[in-house]
Amino acid sequence: MDRRKFFLLTYGCQMNKLDSELIASRMIQGGFEETDREEEARILLLNTCSIRESAEDRVWGRIGAMKARKMKDPGVVIGILGCMAQEHQQFLRAKMPHIDVVCGTREFGRIDELVKESMETRKGVVATGEGGNGDLVHREVGQRPMRAQAFVNIIRGCNMPCTYCIVPATRGPEVSRPVDAIREEVERLVADGVTEITLLGQTVNAYGHDLERGTDLALLLRELHQLPALRRISFVTSHPSFLTPRLMEAMAALPRVSRYFHLPAQSGSSKVLKAMKRGYTRERYLARIRDLKSLIPDMEFACDFIAGFPGETEEDHRQSLSLIEEVGFSQSFVFKYSPRKGTVSADFLTDDIPEDVKARRNQELLQVQEQVSLAKNKAQVGEVREILVEGPSKRRKDRYTGRTARNRLVHFANEDPSLVGRYVPVEIIEAQAHCLIGELREETRTLQAGEDEWLGMRNREGMGR
């Protein structure tokens, strides 16, 4: 069995998935070879997530299973990377001697060296400082899983004080990447066939505050928008406090910037938002939405909610429900509150909402969102939308899926794999709460880069600028 083959398993958010692409790049540059078959690898790497207890539980289970493999074959190298390595470094060192490499969130830019050191010394290696974050890795652009789409990190870490969140502790303070480095990476991705990019950061719209004066997300969007081959540009995750007039103006002026905007509120109650230390009230959140809608009337919004935060009353919960209806989110991601050790809310607030109440509120938020989503999706029936084809449907072999410029998932009958990565028109024939069903239509003309459903809608509705 080849000692240099590695198997990399990823848990958690999109940022972790992108980090795994960078980890794989670095390992390959260091002379290792990736395999997707765990049994043929001698190096097992887990890129982990701490955001919720359930995510951690799955990783602990997997670490246990890897121990059995190590006992049979002591030459196997096991590495734990990312948030859990950062958060539980003491425990991993003290209680889990079968782990060979503990690599924190700001060290995986040198993961190949850490693995080699462990192989050579046959000792455990722990790196949880700031020796090299992933942005130091020269990305192998061909490493990405989707041909036409790519994620690009622009800012790491978080400076915000949200009381429920472990991210500032695991990922450290915000560090923005220079504009030139981002543009260079995006140009290489575009040269390799990418037409849609998503810029990533925990507080993506705080980008640039630690760089040269005048550098911000608005400037970066204007810079990237100059690349004509890029047909769609989006960014996640935004914080309402950094939705500045300058950013809104840039979004309005740049037609290829996505008209789907994920702006997590977390709660519709100003009282709960204060306890969360989110830095805005319900009214200010709504004012931001109004401001952006006044510039881009057809902008679609998506949201995150936490159900059952400590102290949340039925009235607070009703305010979250009403926020969904008032804004008319096209999508909401809802999570039950779970205390994370090391956060302010876990250490200083009482987790006083019973589990069954959290579950009910969670369900009610989802139900209201489903009604709103369904009504919005029904309004799409009969329209022709341009979608970027992503691949075969997971559930039905005779269907493929794609997304509109507003991030709506569309399933359509197709058996032609050559459509993957292409932009094709589909007529929407049926609406469900979570997706649309469409039928392929003839391409009557070639859509130019930047011409998308949004422009089509503007033309139909006569919205000039």
Give me the residues that bind ligand SF4 (CB under 6 A), please: 158, 160, 162, 165, 167-168, 202-203, 239
Rounded to 5°, angle at Cα 12 from 47 and 131: 40
Q: What is the per-residue DSSP string for 376-407? A: HHHTTTT-EEEEEEEEE-SS-TTEEEEEETT-
CB of 72 to ligand SF4, least distance (A): 40
DSSP symbols for 234-270: EEE---GGG--HHHHHHHHH-TTB-SEEE---B-S-H
Residues recorded for the chain: 465
State in angstroms the smallest separation of the CB of 301 from ligand SF4: 17
278 secondary structure, DSSP code:
-
Min dist. Cβ of residue 158 to ligand SF4 (A): 3
Largest CA distance in the chain: 70
**Closer CB to ligand SF4, residue 53 or residue 416?**
53
Between 266 and 373, CB nearer to ligand SF4: 266
C-alpha–C-alpha distance, residues 393 and 417, integer Å: 11
In the complex with ligand SF4, the residue whose CB is nearer, 160 or 211, is 160
**How far is it, in rounded angstroms, from Cα 380 to Cα 315?**
33
Closer of 306 and 436 to ligand SF4 (Cβ) = 306
What's the min distance (Å) between Cβ of 278 and ligand SF4? 7
96/167 with CB nearer ligand SF4: 167
Least distance to ligand SF4 from the beta carbon of 234, Å? Answer: 18
Which residues, including other chains, have CB under 8 Å from residue 363's CB and lie 6 or more apart?
none
In angstroms, the CA 380 to CA 371 distance is 15
> Residue 231 or residue 239: which is nearer to ligand SF4 going by CB?
239
CB of 274 to ligand SF4, least distance (A): 14
